[in-house]
Amino acid sequence: MKKIKKGKKKKLTLKEHVSSALYLAPSFLGVMIFFFIPFLVVIFYSLIDNPISKNFVFLDNFKRVMDNAAFKMAAENTFTFSILAVPLAVLLSLLLAIMLESKIPLKSQLRTFFLSPMMVPAASIVLIWQVLFNYNGVVNQWLAPFGVEQIDWLKSEHAQIVVVLLFLWKNLGYNMILFMAALSSIPKDIIEVARLESASPFKIFMKIKIRYLSSTILFVTIMSLINSFKVFREVYLLTGKYPYNTIYMLQHYMNNTFASLDYQKLSVAAILMSLVMIVIIGILFIAENHFGKDVEG
Amino acid sequence: MKRIKKLLCTLLCISMIFACAACGKDTKEGDKDSKGSEGTGKNQGIEYVYVPSYQKIEVEKDGYISGVRMDSKKCLYGVSVYSYEEGTEENTFHLVKVDFETGEATKIPVTLDAGGYIAAMDMDSEGNIWILESIYQYDKITYETLYEGYYIVRYDEKGTELNKFNLDDLMKEQDPYNSYIQNMAIDKDGYIHLKIGDSVICVLNPDGSKKVSLTASDWVDGLGVAKDGKVYTSMYGMNGMEIRPVDAENMKFGDAYQGIGNLHGAFFAGLNYDIIYNGESALMGYNFGDKTSTSIANWLDCGISSNNIEAVAELENGDYMLFSRSYEGDREAVNLIRLVKTDKSTLPDVTEVVIGSYYASDALKEQVLKFNKENPEYKITIKEYNQNAITLEDYESAIVEFNNDIISGNVLDMVDFSSIDNVNSLVSKGALEDLTTYLEKDPQINLDDYVSNVLTSYKVDGKLISLVTSFSINTMIGKPKFVGNEAGWTIKDMVALADSVPAGTEILPYATKEMILYSMIMYSIGDFYNTETGECYFNSDNFVNLLEFANRFPMESEYNEDDESEPSKIARDALLLLTTQIWEVEEYQLYNLMFGGDMTCIGYPTTSGNGNMITSGSELLGICSKSDNKDIAWEFMKTLLQEDYQRDQWMGFPVLESVLQEKYDKAMEVIYYTDENGEKVEEPHTTWGWNGVNFEIYAATKEEIDELDALIRSLDTFAVSVYDEQVFEIIQEEATYYFEGAKSAKDVADVIQNRVFMYIQENY
């Protein structure tokens, strides 16, 4: 066997190329078949007039969808919800994690308490939320003594607040656990040194802990973004296919266009949404790279 | 060491690849997954189908067949002959045994008691014949019941009586209102099982004494013997039909076998299957071991009507024997049909045309059978999507599969619209042919021969997507003094009428808030939105007023059979309107009489034109635009316009002018009877009654026929094409808040406007 000289890259032989390719082939084929090719099919559907005649119409479908009031409303609502809910989910779960990492009583019970919403099935969540936020529900009854008029929470401008609360209630526990694990993995000696150097807790947090948490923050943000789309399931069960316009999301649009066999609109909406996601996640990766580079080496 | 690791990795990869290649269940004969249509199978590369071969069974004049039983070697049935000549009445009975190998029919002389007939029959493992004889004897002068009861009689193969048990004592223990013995089965040990009433299974010892009586928690559908020689019952469980063994030793029903699919009524012991049965669309086999149903032979593929199959047997050579009974005229047409297992490659090629349907009606299947018989070079098959659906997920999967098959364009040639609700989506995708060109180009079709305004009424976005081959009139009826003489009115007119009559006058019978709302906007909902501009007007004063009007009525209404009848209320102007569907000339006459001989079919309120709607009475078929067999599909559709099909329609008016005229002529035919004085007296065609109010419908007058005909000619709207279920769902959901007093009409209208706007814009 050849000794590899330090600093020099060994060139792979053809045989090694072939054997590498063979080992990679199953995974590669899987990704192609289940991700890449379907995406190409979606792009194809977005460029034709309908699945029957399959006439190429280039970007006409894109223009039609982007001019469509329902799509615009859905995109706006989805964006607003994500901008509101995701940072809140990250910040609040981080705060909770810090709180539960400190010396407080009933830590274990509190942890269980925050994690328990994850185990509740969607149908039960819907039932609880209906009881709470129905026009004649518990929340209105609590507010009535304070002179607040009955609010139709799910069919008014306040509907987004309800959905944000639902999202936070369901996902804080999971994010909190991720942050707790990340916090416990921060090297204690660096923090000791910082304390000895008379650094305040706030400075320790901002200068040391945040850097070590950067990859977890990125992960939690991406997961929260993904979970923010999954909240559609509960919203659909609560309000049906056509809810009040403030909680009419992109997923409603896509679900309904699928049901009405309008695969062109569905494909266009999916492509536009994925382009936006690529940009957002790209920004997040750049940010993480910047803040976390010195701790990741 | 590295070489060993490399070898290990290579072996692991190869084993993974093999594992993927081996995925999937083994195909077996008759399995739906095997290549070929349902009901075929592959065996060593040969694809098999079942080809029917008929052996007619001659039935004597006035003869009636009862008590059919078959096993793998023979068929046994009873023949009762009733003859009435010169005032005398004679009943004779005998059994017939048909040997499947030789085809010979042998008469077995068996005598029943006077007044007796076969209620059930079975054969035991020794070849003996067991008959459950139901006896009803009455005095022929006073008609007083002299005796009513059951006997079980055991005969040998030659018809010699071996045992006879009277069941009077057993029947005394049963519920007198629910004690009809419907079925009998003999297990391999000679125990007699009887199904009594809805849910009682009584087991008798071979000597006729009672062993045990079991009562099921639910209605027992069928009773039969399986391949293991034990007796099983079929009943509805939580997840559809299930089979349970009768465990007489432990005095209970055994554990349920599920996944049985469409089993209704009789099931029989198989040779390769534990049980075989008529599964509505196919001959099915079920095994208790793997709890799966297998489709053995699709009835349509075999050219057989499933309604006529009374018994099934599996033969040792793989063929199946069916006992089929139908009527030709006034005589029974009975056949033994042998399904012969045949290599498909030996059969002539046929062009297959597929109709997609959620659930095909018997009438459609009969028409397909007839077309296939008359056109052997083609074969129309029906792909039923809901056939085995039990849970909600099954139904939803069926919808997705159906839509995908239409959109993909390579599975279906025709679509049955009768039970689908996304027709508009299909039209907008260009999935369906415009039948206007077919009608125009076909030299055999002359639109003047048809009620063309109805025939071509089912249009979506200007495209004729189906032909309406029989129809009813969906209308609202009132007296001219209230609604005027001409059809067509608006929501405002209806509200004005309600405001003009004294308090307490009923607008519609048992009217509730929801019913009034529904009636007023059912066919005028399109007036509140514009799909071309994407605008909605549900927050307009018109809609708010409509909600307020509907709110005047009670939330619920309870029917009480002691209440005054609707005709009586109409007669004294206490009830103003009725909504109804008119299917027959007699119904038109009935409503005319009800409204005092002067009625206006005003129709449902709309803002434009005619509120009288066309509803289809039969299949609605469309042709898929991607079909390669459009011409054949059109030829099949044309058969629905032929005279014999039009004449056989029992629901609705035919669209063929000549047959419609025949209906009119029959309605105008005066029927007489001779009274005790020998005089001819006109007899009514039919009589209708409500709580003591009776209407006798006599021969229609020319005037009535002309009025009805004018109404039919005025129809121009097909009901389904103007009704939007999604919009109505939203309205219904939100209006409830107003009707319950939770919100104001304006708030509810605003929410409806908001939600419907999203719906309209999404589809804009």
Please state which of the ranges A58-62, A106-110, A216-220 shows the lowest mean pLDDT. Answer: A106-110
Q: Is the pLDDT of residue B721 over 80?
A: no
Question: What average pLDDT does this structure show over B563-585?
Answer: 93
Q: What is the pLDDT of residues B504-535, one digit of tens each?
A: 899 999 899 999 998 888 888 888 988 888 88
The band of B260, judged by pLDDT with boundaries at 50, 70 and 90, is confident
Cβ-Cβ pairs closer than 8 A, A with B, add up to: 79
CA B399 to chain A, closest CA, distance in angstroms equals 10
Residue of A nearest to B731 (CA): A242
CB contact under 8 A, B17 and A26: yes
DSSP string, A53-99: T--B-TTHHHHHHHH-HHHHHHHHHHHHHHHHHHHHHHHHHHHHHHH
Report the alpha-carbon distance of residue B103 to residue B97 in Å, rounded: 10
Residue B460's SS3 state is strand
Picking from A20, A155, A252 by the largest number of B CB atoms within 10 A of its own CB, the best residue to mutate is A155
Tokens 């055999």, residue? B444
DSSP, collapsed to helix, strand or coil, labels residue A50 as: coil
Percent above pLDDT 70 for chain A: 95
Closest CB from A22, A52, A253 relative to B429: A52
Q: pLDDT-derived band of residue B141, with 50, 70 and 90 as boundaries?
A: confident
Nearest alpha-carbon partner for A248 in A262, A230, A232 = A232
**Which residue type occupies B231?**
V
Write down the pLDDT at residue B41: 46
Residue position matching structure tokens 């026929």: B705
- The pLDDT assigned to A110 comes to 87
Q: Which of A241-245, B15-19, B542-546 has the lowest mean pLDDT?
A: B15-19
Task: Find the CB nearest B430 among A50, A136, A253.
Answer: A50
In this prediction, residue B641 has a pLDDT band, given cuts at 50, 70 and 90, of: very high
Block residue for tokens 């012969």: B340
Nearest CB to A52; choose among B422, B431, B726: B431
Q: Compute the nearest-CA separation of B34 from chain A (Å).
A: 25
Whether B239 has a pLDDT exceeding 80, the answer reads no
Q: Which of B249-263, B307-321, B432-446 is predicted with the least confidence, judged by mean pLDDT?
A: B249-263
Q: Looking at the predicted structure, is the pLDDT value of residue B36 above 50?
A: no
Nearest CA in chain A to B738: A135
Q: Which of A106-110, B238-242, B321-325, B462-466 is predicted with the least confidence, judged by mean pLDDT?
A: B238-242
Residue A231 has pLDDT above 90, yes or no: no
Residues B649 and B638: their CA atoms lie apart, in Å, by: 15
Separation between Cα atoms, residue A217 and residue A223, nearest integer Å: 10
Q: Is B403 an interface residue toward A (CB < 8 Å)? A: yes
Confidence (pLDDT) at B764: 76
Tell whether the model's pLDDT for residue B145 goes beyond 60: yes
Name B151's bridge partners: B133, B166
Residues A70, B762: C-beta atoms closer than 8 Å:
yes
Write down the pLDDT at residue B31: 36
Count of Cβ atoms closer than 10 Å to residue A233 Cβ: 14
Report the run of H or E that residue B536 belongs to, with start and end: strand B535-536
| Among candidates B425, B747, B751 on the partner chain, residue whose Cβ is nearest the Cβ of A244 | B751
Residues of B within 8 A of A44 (CB-CB) are none
Q: Is the pLDDT of residue B543 over 50?
A: yes
pLDDT band for position A10 (50/70/90)? low
Place of tokens 């590669």: A28
Q: Do B763 and A260 touch (CB under 8 A)?
A: yes
Residues of B in contact with A262 (CB under 8 A): 425, 428-429, 763
pLDDT in tens, B116-137: 888 999 998 888 999 999 998 8
pLDDT of residue A9: 58
Sign of the alpha-carbon torsion through A266, A269, A275, A279: negative
What is residue B662's three-state secondary structure?
A: helix
Residue A20's contacts (CB-CB under 8 Å, 6 or more residues apart) are: A12
Q: Look at B638 and B27; give whichever has higher pLDDT.
A: B638
Q: Hey, are the CB atoms on B756 and A257 less than 8 Å from each other?
A: no
The number of residues making up chain A comes to 297
- Is residue B11's pLDDT more than 90? no
Does the CB of B763 have a partner CB in chain A at under 8 Å? yes
Residues 5-34, chain B, touching A (beta carbon < 8 A): 9, 13, 16-17
Residue B656 pLDDT class (50, 70, 90 cuts)? very high
Residues B590-603 have pLDDT tens digits of 999 999 999 999 99
- Which run of H or of E encompasses A223? helix A210-230
All structural domains of chain B, each given as residue ranges with its CATH number in brackets, are 357-471+618-650 (3.40.190.10)
Q: What's the rounded mean pLDDT across residues A107-130?
A: 87
Cβ neighbours, 10 Å, residue B85:
8
Q: In this complex, which of B429, B430, B759 lies closest to A242 when CB atoms are compared?
A: B759
For A173, the token pair is 């526990």
Q: Which pLDDT value is given to residue B418?
A: 78
**What's at B696, amino acid-wise?**
E
Q: Which one is predicted more confidently, B667 or B13? A: B667
Residues of chain B with C-beta less than 8 angstroms from the C-beta of A260: 422, 425, 763
Q: Please, what's the largest Cα pairwise distance for chain B?
A: 118
d(CA B157, CA B150): 22
Lowest average pLDDT, out of B385-399, B479-493, B571-585, goes to B385-399
Counts for chain B of helices (H) and strands (E), in that order: 21, 43
Q: How far apart (Å, rounded) are the C-alpha atoms in residues B710 and B582?
A: 14
Rounded Cα distance, B730 and A164, in Å: 24
Q: Identify the closest residue of chain A to B2 by CA–CA distance.
A: A1
Matching residue, tokens 């509190």: A110
Single out the residue of B644, B635, B643, B651 nearest to residue B470, CA to CA: B651
- The reply to whether residue A26 touches residue B16, judged by beta carbons under 8 angstroms, is yes
Provide the residue count of chain B.
764
Nearest chain B residue to A255 by CA: give it.
B762
Arithmetic mean of pLDDT, A267-277: 94
pLDDT at B455: 95
Residues in chain A within 8 Å Cβ distance of B534 = 69
State the Cα torsion A167-A170-A172-A173 to the nearest 10°: -170
As a whole number of angstroms, the distance between CA B761 and CA B764 comes to: 5
Tell me, what's the pLDDT at A8?
54
Using only C-alpha atoms, chain B has a radius of gyration, in whole angstroms, of 31
Q: Which of B744, B736, B726 lies closest to B536 in space, CA to CA?
A: B726
Q: How many C-beta neighbours within 10 Å does residue B67 have? A: 22
Is the complex ipTM more than 0.90? no
Min distance B341 CA to chain A CA atoms (Å): 39
> Residues of B numbered 423-442 whose beta carbons fall under 8 angstroms of chain A's beta carbons: which are they?
425-426, 428-431
- Rounded to the nearest integer, the mean pLDDT of chain B is 87
The predicted structure's pLDDT at residue B84: 66
Yes or no, beta carbons of A73 and B17 under 8 Å apart: no
B726 and A242: CB-CB below 8 Å?
yes
Tokens found for residue B339: 């399904």
- Kindly report which listed range (A41-50, A83-92, B89-98, B676-685) carries the lowest average pLDDT score: B89-98
Residue type, B333: A
User: What is the C-alpha separation between B757 and B132, in angstroms, rounded?
Assistant: 67
Contacts of A230 (CB under 8 A, 6+ apart): none
Query: Cβ A70–B625 below 8 Å, yes or no?
Result: no
**Chain B residue nearest residue A22, CA to CA:** B13
Give CA–CA dist A289/A284, Å, rounded.
Answer: 8
Inter-residue contact B304 to B52 (CB < 8 Å): yes
- The answer to whether the beta carbons of residues A166 and A129 sit under 8 Å apart is yes
CATH number assigned to the domain covering A65-296: 1.10.3720.10
pLDDT tens, position by position, B270-294: 999 999 999 888 899 999 998 888 9
Nearest to B755 among A136, A242, A259 (CB): A242
Half-sphere exposure of B495 (CA within 13 A, CB side): 18
Residue type, B316: E
* Token pair listed for B559: 């029917």
Q: Are B325 and B352 in contact (CB under 8 A)?
A: no
Distance from C-alpha of B410 to C-alpha of B397, rounded to nearest angstrom: 19
| CA–CA dist B612, B605 (Å, integer) | 9
Do B302 and B58 contact (CB within 8 A), yes or no? no
Distance from CA of A54 to the nearest CA of B (A): 10
Name the residue among A23, A50, A136 with its Cβ closest to that of B429.
Answer: A50
CA distances from B458 to B424, B434, B614, B654, B744 (A): 11, 11, 9, 16, 39
The answer to whether the CB atoms of B625 and A136 lie below 8 A apart is no
User: What is the Cβ-side half-sphere exposure of residue B609, based on CA atoms within 13 angstroms?
Assistant: 7
- Tokens for B281, please give them: 């669309």
Using the Cβ of B98 and the Cβ atoms of chain A, whether some distance falls under 8 Å is answered with: no
Q: Cα(A136)–Cα(A55) distance, rounded to whole angstroms?
A: 52
**Is pLDDT at B68 greater than 70 in this prediction?**
yes
A256 vs chain B: nearest CA distance in angstroms?
8
- Positive or negative: CA dihedral A18, A21, A23, A25: negative
Exposed/middle/buried for A2, CB within 10 Å: 0-12, 13-18, 19+?
A: exposed
Report the mean per-residue pLDDT for chain A.
Answer: 89
User: Is B742 in CB contact (< 8 Å) with chain A?
Assistant: yes
